[in-house]
Every structure is written in structure tokens, then in C-alpha cells.
Amino acid sequence: MEDHAGESISIDITHSNETNHINETIVSSIREEMDDTNRSEARAHGGECISIDITNSNETHHTGETHHTSETLVSYIKEKMEDLSSIAFIFKVPEEIRQGKESRYTPNKISIGPSHYKDPALKTLEDHKWMYLNALVSRKPKPKPEAGWDNKAVQARALNPEENLVVCVKALKEMEHRARKCYKENIDLTSDQFVQMMLVDGCFIIELFLRYSIKALRRPNDPIFATPNFLSELRCDFILLENQIPLFVLHDLFKAVPIPEQCTQTFNELAFRFFTNILPGDRQVVKEKFCQEGYHLLDLIRHCMLPTFPKELPIKREPPPKQLESATKLRKWGIKFKSARAKSLLDVKFANGVLAIPLLKYHSCLEKLLWNLIVFERLHFDDTQYITSYAFLMGCLINAHNDVKLLGQQEILSNFKEKKDEIANLFGKIKEEVRVKDSYYLRLYEQVNDYRRIPRVGWKKSQRDQVVQPSSPKWYIIAILLLLLTFVGTFFSVLSFCLHL
């Protein structure tokens, strides 16, 4: 991925060979919303208002009439090409999956994207989004010493924050058609509404990630950082399949907005830092995976969880087993468990009677993360469903509290002591509800079942369970009983002999 934080950006908003028309209605609407929100924030915090004036945007972005026909044709051809090449990757959860399980897929605090747009239950943070947008576009950008950077343009944008807003709206207008195609369902929003939504939601995410990484940017009494568990709840909302916007929208906005001097990271690096507490696996490996391309934030998380080993196919002709027994039952068969130091959470291996499983940290977002990744794989991926395979594997191993305790003692599960019910219920439901189309672990299932069928394994285990050892209490009891029986037998024999005399 490109280092967007250090990339040169040359701004030319007078160029007329591209589609430069900016709808004055949407820009005016955004300006009014930002001014109203800024005044409210200033009254609340005793600060000053930043007034944005974009009355000259018509002159700045005027497109010559002579280019109208060619631009319309180019725009039409571009849209047709995008229609043919685009694949939807943001979905609404089907009703048959969602019904009765809405809490898995519905945001609690914030709406991102069109699926829950204008949901009255999620209006609490709407004003906060506008405050973050205002702070972001009004910030003085850091200097860009790289070749090609127009320092005059930077200074102009620093002195006139409205230019940042104009540049963002222009960029979003140009990618609107492509962004709409990323959603499987039709979006019942006008062009202005859609662009405004992408601008406000995208800039909110960028500003939140910046403030999370750079404490100096945080403002006093910001409820997101001042309220306990608020950030954790936002993380849970950001990983929902229905609560996504395309990653390329966030990348392009990150290029367009002024980034503070303290920030040296790319957008993906900022996102990694925000989500790092819920990302399993080796930190350095996960960071490298997270900084690659993806469809959206949920897909970035999925990508960093993918296994590092290629899929192994079963070697036998007969249909392989499609699941395992519980952890406690496998232990009775002589199979041992250990925590694996692996690069990926999904790097589960079996060898010499030992099932090596990387550590899984239980956290407040785990249930929503797994369910949304499972649905995402079901709706988007036709090949191996990696996360679904892992979740189902853990569902096989964890049937009850004893299984949670066993895996926790082997350091395969963390934070398990007070969460046994939640963990057992989560993976129990996964095993009950999920069907894996093409499991990543078919060869592993085959290996485990082959191992337990070896006679010596079962025989040795049964001998340990059933044979009474000489040093055990049972041996002493049996010995005493035998002595008593011998004594009683001898006594009656002597008594009978005496009576006959």
C-alpha cells in the first residue's frame, strides 16, 4: 500500500478537462451543518467558531460549455466500465439469518454508510460526526517537502478551510458511481445525500483514528474518549458488515484532508492501531497484513487473520470427517493440547498426538466479529471459508464449561475464567448454526481421527483407566477383603473339625 501520509498531492481545482462540477446545494448544506455544529461546540466549550465561506465555488469550479458533451460521454463510458468490472462487497444481512439475532449485526452507537442511515436509534453521535468533520477540514496541514508539492496551494488551503471541503466533495462526486456499486442492495439516497453521507462518515473515521493515535489532538470532555467503554462499543460497530464504507473512499479522503504534523502513519496504520486490541496473532505479521489492500475495515481484519499455510487436502479417497469431538473427549482418547506460537490465529496443526492451537483472546467484540465475518464469507467468497472454518473448529472443541477450562489451562483461550458461559454459548451456537462449504481443516480432521483409531492409543488409555495399580487404595481394600475371606474360611474349617471330634 502506498504511504498516504507522506505522499505528494498537487491540487488544481480549476482544471477543466475532468468532471469538475460541484453541486452548490450539497456544499451549501454541508457548510450550514458545519457552521451550526461549530457554533454549538463553541458555546459548549467556550471556543471560537470557524466560519466557512464557499460563495465563490461557482467561479472556482466553472466548467466550460464546450467541454460538456465530451465530459458527459467520458462519464457515461466510465460508469459502464465500472458496472462491468465492479463486484459488490458490502451487504445487508439476509433476513433469514438476521431474524431473532439482530444484536449480532446491528450497530448500537453509530451508523456508518447507507444501511442504517437516518436510523433514529443512532442519532446520538450525528452532531459529533459534524464536529469531527469541522475539526478535520479546518486543521492546518503539515508541510510536504517532497517534490511536486505545491506549497502555495497548501497555504491557501490552510488559510481557507473551505477549500478542503470543496476538494473532498469533488473527489467524492467523481467516485460516487463506483462507491454505489460496492453495495449489493440499491441505495435510496439522492446524489447529494450519498456524497454528504460518505463525507461525514469517512471524515469522522479519519479524525477518530487520528485522535486515538495522537492524544494531543483530543479535546477536553470529548465523550468518545472520556466515557468508559465508549471506544470499545465503537470498535464493535465498526466491524459490522452492514456498517461499512469502501476502503478506497477512506483512502482518497485521507489524501484530500489536511493531516496534522504529528501524524506519520498511513491510514491503514492508523486503523491497525485503533483495532490492535482485538486483532489476534503475531503483532508484526498482523500489522504487515493489515497494511495491505482490502474492501473495507472488516475485510482488513479478515485478511490479517488468514492462515500462513496453504490448505492441505485429505489424502484418502473415502469422504473425510467434517468435524471433531469435544476437547475433553479428545483428551480421553490420548490427544494432547498445547498453545502454538504461530503467525496467524488460523495456523492450527496436529502432529504426534498433539493439537497445537494459537491463543485466542476473548474480548467484548469477539462474538460480533466472528458472526459478521462468517456472513461476509458466505455472501462474498466462493472458495474456502477460512474464518468460518476456524469458528466451526472451535465450536467442535468447545461444547461445555469443561472444554473451556481445558483449553484455558493450556493457554489456548485467554480471559476465560469469568467468561466460561459466554465462550461456551458462542461456540455452541456457531457449531449448531453454521455449515462450512469448504473447510480449511479437512486434512486436520482426517489426521486426528486416524490417530485415535490406532489400537495402541485407545488400549493404553483404557489400561490406565481400568487397571488397578498395586499402590492405589483400591488394591489395599481388595487385599484386606481377601485376608478376611481367608481368615473366615480358616475359622469355619477349624470349627467344623472340632465339632466332628
pLDDT tens per residue, range 198-207: 999 999 999 9
β-strand pairing of 349-351 with 354-358:
antiparallel
If one counts the domains in the chain, the total is: 3
Note whether 85 and 36 are same-domain residues: yes
- 213-256 pLDDT tens trace: 999 999 999 999 999 999 999 999 999 999 999 999 999 999 99
Domain annotation covers residue 122: yes
Note whether 446 and 489 are same-domain residues: no
Note whether 377 and 496 are same-domain residues: no
Domain annotation covers residue 286: no
pLDDT confidence tier of residue 66, bands split at 50, 70 and 90: low
- What pLDDT score was predicted for residue 132? 97
- What pLDDT score was predicted for residue 5? 38
- What pLDDT score was predicted for residue 283? 87
Note whether 474 and 386 are same-domain residues: no
Give the total residue count for the chain.
501
Domain annotation covers residue 315: no
**3-state class of 450 per DSSP?**
helix
Residues 419, 398: Cα–Cα separation, whole Å: 13
Note whether 92 and 225 are same-domain residues: yes
Q: Is the pLDDT of residue 56 over 80?
A: no
Note whether 492 and 475 are same-domain residues: yes
Q: Is the pLDDT of residue 472 over 90?
A: no
Note whether 353 and 432 are same-domain residues: yes
With beta carbons less than 8 A apart as the criterion, state whether 232 and 109 touch.
Answer: no
Look-up of cell digits 481388595: 478
Domain annotation covers residue 4: no
- What pLDDT score was predicted for residue 9? 35
Q: Which of 258, 273, 298 is the last residue of a domain?
A: 258
- 328-381 pLDDT tens trace: 999 999 999 999 999 999 999 999 999 999 999 999 999 999 999 999 999 999
Residue 202 cell numbers, joined: 469517512
Average pLDDT score over residue span 39-64: 48
Note whether 247 and 116 are same-domain residues: yes
Note whether 91 and 175 are same-domain residues: yes
Rg (CA), the chain: 32
Domain annotation covers residue 269: no
Average pLDDT score over residue span 388-395: 98
CA quadruple 166, 177, 12, 64: dihedral, nearest 10: -100
Domain annotation covers residue 161: yes
- Would the pTM of this model clear 0.75, i.e. be above it? yes
Q: Is the pLDDT of residue 473 over 90?
A: no
Domain annotation covers residue 219: yes
Note whether 120 and 224 are same-domain residues: yes
Q: Which domain holds residue 490?
A: 468-500
Q: Which of the two residues, 44 and 210, has the higher pLDDT score?
A: 210
Note whether 179 and 67 are same-domain residues: yes
Lowest mean pLDDT among 108-117, 273-282, 396-405, 464-473: 464-473
Query: Which residues, 6 or more positions from 144, have their beta carbon under 8 angstroms from its beta carbon?
Result: 6, 8, 9, 151, 154
Domain annotation covers residue 488: yes
Query: Which residues, 6 or more positions from 350, have their beta carbon under 8 angstroms from its beta carbon?
Result: 356, 444, 447, 448, 451
Which residue in 189, 196, 168, 207 sits closest to 115, CA to CA? 189
Q: Is the pLDDT of residue 156 over 80?
A: no
Which residue in 116, 388, 380, 386 sits closest to 240, CA to CA? 116
Note whether 413 and 482 are same-domain residues: no
With beta carbons less than 8 A apart as the criterion, state whether 393 and 321 touch.
Answer: no
